[in-house]
Amino acid sequence: MSDAPESQDPADLRVASRELDGRRPWLIPDEQVPYGHVLHAAAVQRCSPAAVVSRLAALGYTDIQHSEASLPDSVDLDDVPLIRDVGAEYSVTWLDVGKPVSLRQVLESAGQTDRGPATVARRLTALGYRLGDGDGAQSLPDTPHSGDPVLISTDRGSYGEWLDWGDEVPTPQVLRAARELRCSPYAAATRLLALGLRLPYTPEPADELLLRSSEEQDLRQGVRWLYWEPPVGHVLAVAQELARPAAEIAARLAELGYGRPAVPDSPEADDLVILSEQLNGRSPWLVVNTVVGLSLAHILRAALATGRSPSDIAGRLATLGHWLHENAKLPAIADEAEVRLLETVDRSFLDDVHLENVLRSASLTGRSPADVASRLTALGYRLPDEVEYPEVRGSLAGS
């Protein structure tokens, strides 16, 4: 049995067809006509929704979904994208007027139509829909932002959930969204508040500096610490620039969702130098290596840069959270030749140093394999190969 209407009037056929094209699939007389279909038909046929309802009733469609509010006087074609359910994955589904409109619906519709969330919320209300918070149009921002859906999506994969009106945003969500949008966590947090969501902390303008290098001014640097604690060097540098205690900076970073590094009560003059990878007191900073510990070469380079002994440098870095592997043996004094040797070694104190590693270092430094093997053993490396290393020096690689 066909569901086509008996009337052959082209206008009737269009209003009774789901796609408003006068062809199947047709509305089913025994099923409720969605409210969205009424609005869509009114927009396409440039008539009032009330006229569409009357025409459908005359064609035998008596079960028509209604809004709790009165029908709007008119509907524009620009309104149609707003009333399509953004959660429908496989086919066009009209937004259910009997349920509160989700924040996701407003934000995704705003993004698709390049309108501000407040504009979309007001228009949906005017069309007869009820917002989930009851007063969202008053609190939402007027400015459009294409990243809004990312801010409220807890996971961009298929198993993600969506934050809704008035929800509290988990701190890691702010950081994850900021990373995906390539913006600062402060910018992400303030936009979330503008969308009516709650945060477990109050965003502060100074957070921008806490989450980036004080020298490089890189807005994305803080985001890469999402799953670990910020380097101590960064904390001390920001504390120095803001003239605030390092412990206060570390505590604020913990509030913002980052790990809380241990910081000294009394920073020393050389701390920023020995904590920087380039020994210049600036980012990039040393990151704690929880597997093999601190680089022995860095300790010796830091000793040379500051005029302090290797043991003094190692002790201070240990206080700052950077430990030296128990197998490592510190020399009494730092030597440039020792640093050059260590920079050719790509093995950690957990690894065995084999013949090929010794020969490579000898080639790169111009030292004899026997000398290289002797020095590496003295520094704590394991050389398990039972070989007699030659005393003859090789020529430097590339010479």
pLDDT at 303: 97
Instruction: Show me where the domains of the chain are located.
Output: 10-139, 204-263+272-287, 296-378
H-helix or E-strand spanning residue 86: none
pLDDT at 395: 62
Here the tokens at position 311 are 């043991």
Residue ranges of the chain with per-residue pLDDT less than 70: 1-3, 133-138, 156-159, 212-227, 394-399
Side-chain half-sphere CA neighbours of 203 within 13 A: 21
Burial classification of residue 155, based on how many CB atoms lie within 10 Å of its CB (0-12 exposed, 13-18 middle, 19 or more buried): exposed
Residue from 126, 96, 92 nearest 36 by CA: 96
Burial classification of residue 242, based on how many CB atoms lie within 10 Å of its CB (0-12 exposed, 13-18 middle, 19 or more buried): middle
pLDDT at 1: 47
Contact 179, 221 (CB under 8 A): no
d(CA 107, CA 129): 15
DSSP at 255:
H
pLDDT at 97: 96
Q: What angle do CA 335, 341, 344 make, to 5 degrees?
A: 145
pLDDT at 269: 94
Instruction: Tally DSSP H helices, then E strands, for the chain.
Output: 18, 0
